[in-house]
Structure formats: structure tokens, C-alpha cells
Amino acid sequence: MIVDEDQVLIKKTLQGEKKAFEELMRKYEKRIFSFVIRMVRNEEVAIDLTQDFFIKIFTVLDKYNFEFKFSTWAYRICYNLVIDHIRKNQSQVNSLDDDSISSKEMLSSENVIRHDGFNNLSQEETRLYIWQMVENIPTKFRELILLRYVQELKYEEIAEITELPVGTIKNRIFKAKEILKKEMEKDGLPA
């Protein structure tokens, strides 16, 4: 059995130590929130979902199996929560539609970039721009890019979380990168 820092915190939480769960949340809040907000693209919804996620984790913590890594288990719960939310709201909210790339932020960011001229973009601006592009690619690509790069997970871990075959995941991440590279070239970002 692996006993890592997370698992020590979980044991303490299960023994009733409040501070331990707070520490666990502090460790994961940024990564979870970054993932959720990029998936749902709405701050209020992301805050609610992040809260729901941690409360859910707390209530099912006694069911956590210490033979597995906590982060994989937690991300899987988070992923399911977010995907459920997106599915429920897909019909009502257009901006969450898989193939529509029509968010206001994107249009305005493009305008800003056009005015400044591509070649004057700083590295930081390029970085922000690409991450904005990530938010606008279809969900099935976006979720994998986020799991890979925001949550820093291995392909095998992503496969466990999404229940997709590793081959499919690699293929979709490759497609996502192709899309992003095309966007970079279309907008003439510096190489």
C-alpha cells in the first residue's frame, strides 16, 4: 500500500481532524477550479461545482480505497461532476455547445490582438491567447488537454478518469494540438 502525503491527510480527516481536510482542499483547489472553469466557462458555475466537488469528496471519503492514488480518484469524481453538469445544461446554454466557437471573450481577444499586431505579442500574451483558444475548442478535445496539462496527468490516468482507451486519448490530444497550431498560424503568432 502506498502511503503518500494525501493519504495521511485523508486518514487524519477520517479521524475527525478538520485541519487535515482543509489542507487537502488547499492543495487541490487551484487545479480543480482551473479545470472546472475552463470546462464550464462561467465563474459562478465553476465556484458552485468546485464546492459541490469538495463536499462530495468529503462525504464519500470513507469509501476511498487506499490502494489507489487519491488524485486519480478525486479527478474522476470531478470529471464526472463537470460532464454531468455540461450534459444537463447543453440543451439550454448555447455557449456550452460542443462545436460552437462563439464566445464573446474570444471575439474581443481577437480584436485586441489584431489591433496590437501579432508580432508585437509578448510571450505572456501568446500564452494567454493560446489558453483562451483551449477554452474554445470542442469539449471532447478540451477536457483531455485540461486533464493532461492543467492536472498534469499521465495518459493512463486520463484513461482511468474518462474511461476512454489510451489510443483514443492520444489521438484526440494530437487533434487538439493540430487545431491549436492552426489557430496559432492563422493568427500569425510568432514562431
Residue 41 backbone dihedrals phi, psi, to 5 degrees:
55, 40
Q: Tell me if 181 contacts other proteins by CB under 8 A.
A: yes
Neighbours of 75 (CB within 10 A): 24
Residue 136 CB, shortest distance to other proteins, in Å, is: 14
Question: Radius of gyration over alpha carbons of the chain, in Å?
Answer: 18
Pinpoint the alpha helices (H) of the chain: 5-14, 18-40, 43-60, 70-90, 104-116, 123-136, 139-145, 155-162, 166-186
Cα dihedral 116, 117, 121, 125 sign: positive
- Verify binding: residue 21, other proteins, rule CB under 8 A: yes
The residue type of 51 is Q
Q: From the list 16, 63, 65, 120, which residue makes contact with other proteins (rule: CB under 8 A)? A: 16
State yes or no: residue 147 binds other proteins (CB under 8 A): no
Of 3-11, 33-41, 85-93, 103-111, the segment contacting other proteins by CB under 8 A is 33-41
Long-range residue pairs from 149-152, CB within 8 A, at least 24 positions apart, any chain = 150/31, 150/34, 150/35, 150/38, 151/31, 151/35, 151/71, 151/75
Cα(93)–Cα(49) distance, integer angstroms: 16
What is the DSSP-derived secondary structure letter of residue 92?
T
Residue 50 makes contact with other proteins by CB under 8 A:
yes
Considering only 11, 88, 127, 154, the residue that binds other proteins (CB under 8 A) is 127
Q: Does 34 bind other proteins (CB under 8 A)?
A: yes
Residue choice 5, 8, 58, 165 for contact with other proteins (CB under 8 A): 58
Stretch that binds other proteins, among 44-52, 75-83, 95-103, 107-115 (CB under 8 A): 44-52
Q: Does 177 bind other proteins (CB under 8 A)?
A: yes
Whether 95 and 39 have beta carbons less than 8 Å apart is answered as: no
The one segment of 45-53, 69-77, 81-89, 104-112 that binds other proteins by CB under 8 A: 45-53
Q: Which of residues 150, 153, 161, 169 is near other proteins by CB under 8 A?
A: 150
The residues of the shown chain that bind other proteins, judged by CB under 8 A, are 16, 18, 21-22, 25-26, 29-31, 33-34, 37-38, 46-47, 50-51, 54-55, 58, 126-128, 130-131, 134, 145, 148-150, 174, 177-178, 180-181, 184-185, 191
